[in-house]
Amino acid sequence: MNTWKTIATASLGLTLTAGLASAAEVTFYKDVLPVLQENCQVCHRPSGANLGGMVAPMAFESYKETRPWAKAMAKAVANKTMPPWHAAPQHQGEFMNERTISQENMDIITAWANTGAKRGNPKDAPASREWPGKDGWTIGTPDLILKTDQVFFVEDDVEDLYVDLTTQLTDDMISEDKFIKAVEFRPGSSAVHHIIAMPLGGIAPGNEASVYPDGIASVLKKGSEITWQMHYHKEPGPGTGMYDQSMVAIKFYDNPEDVKFRMSGAHLGRFDFNIPAGESSYTIQQEYTFPNDSEIVSLMPHFHLRGKSAKYEAFYPDGSSEVLLDVPQYDFNWQTAYKYNDFKKAPAGTKIIFTSVFDNSEGNVFNPDATVDIGWGRPTTDEMSFGYMSFVDSTGKYQPMMGGAGAGNGGLSLVQIVNMFDKNEDGLLQKDEAPGRLTRYFDMIDTNKDGAIDAKEAAVANKFTKNRRRGNQRNSSDD
């Protein structure tokens, strides 16, 4: 992998590569366009990657599109804000989705910007790179495309809103349980901030399509109901309302016998925290211990606007330890899942400690309000502390997504929690399967008193809690 280096300064504030005779010779078509194709166009194009192109606000496919951004591009690569990658330099080469740019290519962009951003001869341009069209999918032709059953209207006055939508699977969609190979979400409007739809996964700013490594899968059960947790975020005001019907494309394994492992997940998070007003380095820790020999596939920290840094550390049974991932400057706009090139081995008894640090001070330019204490909450202006970790268990079996004491649900609906903690996959959550916090309310939710929570009981409980939240909000506004 390429490593970041300090840009040496010459008379033009750059170091030219050996392939360039002088800075004056650098042109868009001959030199810059190949760099953009290799490093930038995956996002900077119509219908680009990362939430359907809603992260990259401009395209870099033509000279006309790119020329106005020449100086900004040079500045972005120099200060390393582009390409967006937030893992510490010590992890270079470890993750398959690493976004970096070579020193040579940085120099080309800088030289072009500093010498007038010349057009050059179009005949020097490389062949256009083929990307999926507006209606295409990066995972290839899907076996199944699902949409939310409802078309939802995000009202004019909405700034931050969570809504649970559903999709009921029918036999026409899938007539038997299927192993999932790849999943790609497509938001139906620009108001979508993120989507969680278990067991399909989800998408947030900066995330790419999810393709399972060969031999690893999740299961989509026939007849099940998919609950889409939709987070909408936009500027409120007259005329800003919009309709949304998001969708997801799925590819299945052709041969079920090719699947050797079920993807499992640890959900290292807490809900019992309170970040004091003005505190610039508030630390929260959570841990998970592997019950069996396992291999870690990916890591993904998730905070809101006060998230400052994240770190995953592994403490092995032999007494050794290492930092699995250090994100020294967390960016809410780029919620990256760090996917290992080579899975990280975690012998039985390995303890993972996830450390999150928050900045609730005025020094945090993204902080909505440094004068208030902040606890856990779904809205972007509240906070979350979660370290997601995907892994495979040596038994090949699914291990429910869970964390240790104090783990919260990360904003997941109760229906999704039932699906995640259902160890024997019978569609029911038994009391001995339920996470600790839920056991206190188990008997109340289990309305038919059969000793288990089913999807209908979970949906009723969800509706009740949402109505109660709305009532509390109305009562608060009336005071």
144 burial via Cβ count (<10 Å: 0-12, 13-18, 19+)? middle
pLDDT at 138: 84
pLDDT greater at residue 197 or residue 478: 197
pLDDT at 273: 87
The answer to whether domain 144-258 and domain 261-478 are alike in fold is yes
Per residue in 351-374, pLDDT (tens digit) is: 999 999 999 999 999 999 999 999
Can you tell me the mean pLDDT for 458-462? 72
What architecture (CATH level 2) is domain 261-478? Sandwich (2.60)
pLDDT greater at residue 5 or residue 132: 132
| C-alpha span between 96 and 80 (Å, rounded) | 19
Q: Tell me phi and psi for residue 294, to 5 degrees.
A: -145, 170
pLDDT at 377: 82
Per residue in 218-232, pLDDT (tens digit) is: 999 999 989 898 999
CATH number, domain 144-258: 2.60.120.230
pLDDT at 133: 65
pLDDT at residue 434 tops 90: no
- The pTM is what? 0.77
Per residue in 258-290, pLDDT (tens digit) is: 999 999 888 888 777 899 999 999 999 999 899
Range name among 13-17, 143-147, 161-165 with the lowest pLDDT average: 13-17
pLDDT at residue 52 tops 60: no
pLDDT at 425: 66
Rounded mean pLDDT of the chain?
84
CA pseudo-torsion sign 297, 300, 301, 303: negative
Per residue in 91-113, pLDDT (tens digit) is: 999 999 998 899 999 999 999 99
pLDDT greater at residue 241 or residue 463: 241
Can you tell me the mean pLDDT for 238-249? 96
Per residue in 302-327, pLDDT (tens digit) is: 999 999 999 999 999 999 999 999 99
Per residue in 334-343, pLDDT (tens digit) is: 889 999 999 9
Per residue in 406-431, pLDDT (tens digit) is: 333 334 556 666 766 666 767 788 88
pLDDT greater at residue 405 or residue 197: 197
pLDDT bucket at 457, cuts 50 / 70 / 90: confident
pLDDT at 13: 40
pLDDT bucket at 134, cuts 50 / 70 / 90: low
Query: For the chain, what are the domain ranges?
Result: 23-124, 144-258, 261-478
Per residue in 1-51, pLDDT (tens digit) is: 333 333 333 333 444 444 444 556 899 999 999 999 999 998 888 766 554
pLDDT bucket at 379, cuts 50 / 70 / 90: confident
Q: What percent of the chain has pLDDT over 70?
A: 82
